[in-house]
Each structure stands twice: as structure tokens, then as C-alpha cells.
Amino acid sequence: MTVNTKANGLDLRQWLADIDAGKQLKQVSGADWNLELGAIAELNVKKSDPKALLFDDIPGYPAGHRVLTCTTSNAARLANILRLGEIGGHQDLVSRLRGRPNTWKSRAAEYDPVEVESGPVLEHVAAGKDVDVSAFPAPLWHEKDGGRYIGTGCMVVTRDLDTDWINVGTYRVMIHDRNHVGLDMIPGKHGAIQYDKHMAAGKPFPVAIVLGCDPLGYTISGIEVPYGMCEYNYIGAILGQPVEVVRGQATGLPFPSAAEIVIEGWAHPGDLKEEGPFGEFHGYYPGKQGVSPVVTIERVYHRSRPILLGSPPAKPPNDYSYSKAVMRSALLMDALQASGVPDVQAVWAHEIGGARMFNVVSIRQRYPGHARQAGHLLLNCGVGAYMSRWAVVVDEDIDPANLQEVMWAVATRSDPERDIDIVRRGMGSKNDPLFVTFGTDTPFNSKAVIDACRPYDYLARFPEVAEASKALQAATRRKWGHILDD
């Protein structure tokens, strides 16, 4: 066996040691998988600077069968995950990320994963009647969930039917029984497209589900990497090292050699079952049970003392809403610039809209129509279209991440009759709470641009802002800081 020492098996334990040293990790002993663990994790992320939580001694499970949550929920850990080094806080993270997604995308082809024959994930392998996914403490995360979700902060590895494209997406995974799980892939997601091709050809669909590894894995499989590109390559470009993988015995699919737990099997044509409901990233249980593909698990691989990586959604802020806001804002910024919109200052995909439904861009207006151009592209560019609803465009003096300032601009600079553009029959989602409520057949939604910029044709006449100038503010802070900075 040749082990490429330069490759990276996405070892979660190395990452944990790193953040523990930085006092970013809290151990929790004795929390029950049945709602208690989920509620602790949910309340934890509502704090202003939440630590990651590592749950152990979960009743009914051997000590050492652990669950990790809140990995990506603050700036320091997210910067660490994205290999950005030490940062000076949230704003620093956002500015360091600028332009990086485009660089990672363009370098991805240089980082094909490296295959090895063995790795820590193969420490324990179960096949046939020994397969039992309930050996791991999958939580019942929320009170009204339809089942126990073993896959939330996971990576679902699948293969295309007619090319050798491997896709890695984050899709939720619910336990049906010891060797069956349900997989919820929204139509249009890359995994769903590959699945549909297999079903149309009457062929079983190969699936390997990585249930814990370095959180860089699910941070990237949970965002929009271009169609046809393998997320392992993209991750390799971030690391500056290829991902080290082993091949599954049942499907031949590649998964990280140092993964904690991997389950592997096939979704067979016609094998569908009720799945859900599940508390979602926008803060609702959208609808009742739906029907989704069942994966029959043929192999389970895990390390000793395995760690299940959980990242449960819920009303924002939730476990991954911060990382989604940061990542999607960076992707949207790059997308607007790539499509030729000049003078984009900043973009923010707000956590309150699950980083999809309420996005804001600030621009320095250069010409008539500039604001609407930015707003419409924000709503409908590739990375922004799915489930987008509101795009707000503000001038450069407004911080798009500051809701107070954004809504002040909406209240004072937009005239509803003139400044709201509606897009009809846009790309929606079956998970949209309104789609579920109205009960139509097809998930279109309407979308709106709110142009909250000062009217371009009357810029000279628009009143001045009644606020101390930046220079006066700075001078006042220098002299009166002892009064102002508590």
C-alpha cells in the first residue's frame, strides 16, 4: 500500500484537538439522545459566542459513542475550518473570504482525491446481518420530528450514471430500521439529479454517507459547488492537499480515510418510504411526512469511540446558519462580480432568512438601473436562485449585515409603489413554508427586489443624513471614549 503523506483524510480528531487547545470546545456528559441533546445544542447556538459541544455518556450507548454539534457556529472556528488562520473576528473573516471561492473553484481540478487501501475509518467494518445503524446515538433533535436523524452534518457521496462524476452533498438522513435509512434530496440538487438518472434507467443508486469527519467536509458539501465538480476537489483546493479516500466495499464509492462513521448501500428503484417531518433551516416543520428514497445499508464502517457529527437546523440562528450566512455571502459576492455588476461593496445573506430568503447587497450607484441589476441578479444568479424571496439593494453607506441600518434604508429610501419589483414563477422549494401552506402542485415562488437606494435620478436632491460625520465620530471617541466604551 502506498500512503501519500501529503493527502488529508479529513480527521475530525485533529480538528477537535486544535479547537480544544483554543478553548473552543465544551464536553457534555449524560445528555439523552431523546430531545435533551438537541435542546441543549439549540439553546447553545443562541448564545453570542457559542462553543462546540461534544456529548458523551449518552444513556443507552457505550461511553465513547459521541455526538458533536455547533462546530461551525462562530467566526474563530469557521476561520479555522476554512484554513484562514487566526482572524480578528467576524468582519475579518468576511473580508479574508472575499474572492476565495472563485480561487478554490478555479484550482479544484488540481486536487483529485488520492486513494489509499486503508485508514482509521476501516477500524470496524460490519456487513450483512451485523449492519445496525442504531448502534450510534442518533438524536431525536426536535419534538415534532418524524424520526431520529443520523445524518445532519453529513456528506452524502454518490456517483453519476453516465460519467465518472462523484458528487458530495449534505442531505438529511433519517433512520427507518437497523439497515434502512431515508434520504431527503430536494429536486434539482446534484445528488437528486444523479438519483433520477439511475431510476429512469431502472438501476440501483450507490450511496455512501459520511457521518462525521473534519467539519470542512460538510461545510463544503452543504453549499453550491458547480454542477459536475466533485466537492473533494474543492476541499482539496482549500486545504492545498488532496483528500485521502478509501473505497467502499459495496459500491466502490470513495470516502475520507479518517472519517468517523460511514454507512454505505443502495437506493433501489421503487423503494420509497415516508420520511419527515423535520425542523428546517428556515425555522418551520414544512408540511407533513413526505416520501423519499430508502437506502438499504450493506456496510457500516467506523472508528473506535466514534463521533457522530450533528448539525441540526431550527429557527435561526441555528447550528449552521452562521456558516451558511458567511459562505453564501462570499459566493453571492463572487457571483455578482463575475456577472459584471460594478462597485458591489458587500453582500449579506441574513441568518433570519436561512441565508437564502432575505439577502442584501450594497453598491455605489454608478448609472441608472444599477440598483435593479444588482437586485435581480442577487435573486436569480446560480447560487442565489433556490428559494430566494427578498433581495434588498442599499447604498454604500449602509452595512448590509446590519438589519437596523438595512430596514432604516427600506423605510426611508424606498417608495413601495415604485421601488419593489416582483419576479413571478421563480425557483422555489417544496420546503418553503408558504408553498406547503398554499398546497399548489409545483414549487414556484414569487420574489421581490426592494430598491432601498436613494433614487439615482434625484441623488442631488435627496436629503443629507442627520448623523455625526465619520471625522466627528472618531474625534469624539478619542476624547470621550471613557464615557462611550463600557
Ligand X SMILES: Cc1cc2nc3c(=O)[nH]c(=O)nc-3n(C[C@H](O)[C@H](O)[C@H](O)COP(=O)(O)O)c2cc1C
The residues that touch ligand X, with contacts defined as CB under 6 A, are: 152-153, 167, 169-172, 184-186, 189-191, 222-225, 311, 320
Nearest-approach distance from CB 206 to ligand X, in angstroms: 15
Report residue 68 as a C-alpha cell: 458533536
CA 469 from chain center: how many Å? Answer: 39
Q: Which residues contact residue 220 at a Cβ distance below 8 angstroms, ignoring those fewer than 6 apart? A: 168, 231, 234, 235, 238
The C-alpha cell at 336 is 455578482
Question: Bridge partners of 246?
Answer: 255
CB of 388 to ligand X, least distance (A): 13
CB of 81 to ligand X, least distance (A): 13
The residue at minimum Cβ distance from ligand X is 222
Q: Which three cell numbers stand for residue 463?
A: 436629503
Instruction: Report yes or no: 124 and 259 within 8 Å, Cβ to Cβ.
Output: no
Asked if residues 351 and 322 have their Cβ atoms less than 8 Å apart, the reply is yes
- 3-state class (DSSP) for residue 81: helix
Least CB distance to ligand X at residue 53 (A): 16
DSSP assignment of 407-427, as one string? Answer: HHHHHHH--HHHHEEEEEEEE
Give 370 or 447: the residue with its C-beta nearer to ligand X: 447
Smaller CB distance to ligand X: residue 204 or 290? 290
**Residue number, 157 or 239, with CB nearest to ligand X:** 157
Q: Based on CB atoms, which residue is closest to ligand X, 186 or 403? A: 186
In whole angstroms, the minimum distance from the beta carbon of 172 to ligand X comes to 3
Which CB, 120 or 312, lies closer to ligand X?
312
Q: Give the phi and the psi of residue 39 in degrees, each rounded to 5.
A: -70, -40
Exposed, middle or buried, 178 (CB in 10 Å: 0-12/13-18/19+)? Answer: middle
Which of 363-374 are b and which e, b meaning 16 or more Cβ less than 10 Å from the residue's Cβ? Answer: bebeeeebbbbb
**Cβ proximity to ligand X, 119 vs 212, nearer residue:** 212
CB 14 within 8 A of CB 214: yes
Q: Quick one: 260 or 395, whose CB is closer to ligand X? A: 260
Half-sphere exposure of 271 (CA within 13 A, CB side): 20
Q: At closest approach, how far in Å is the CB of 411 from ligand X?
A: 33
Q: Rounded to the nearest whole angstrom, what is the least distance from the CB of residue 191 to ligand X in the complex?
A: 5
Q: Nearest 5°: CA angle at 39, between 33 and 43?
A: 145
Nearer Cβ to ligand X, position 385 or 452?
385
For the bound state, the minimum distance from the C-beta of residue 422 to ligand X, rounded and expressed in Å, comes to 25
**Whose grid coordinates read 465518472?**
164
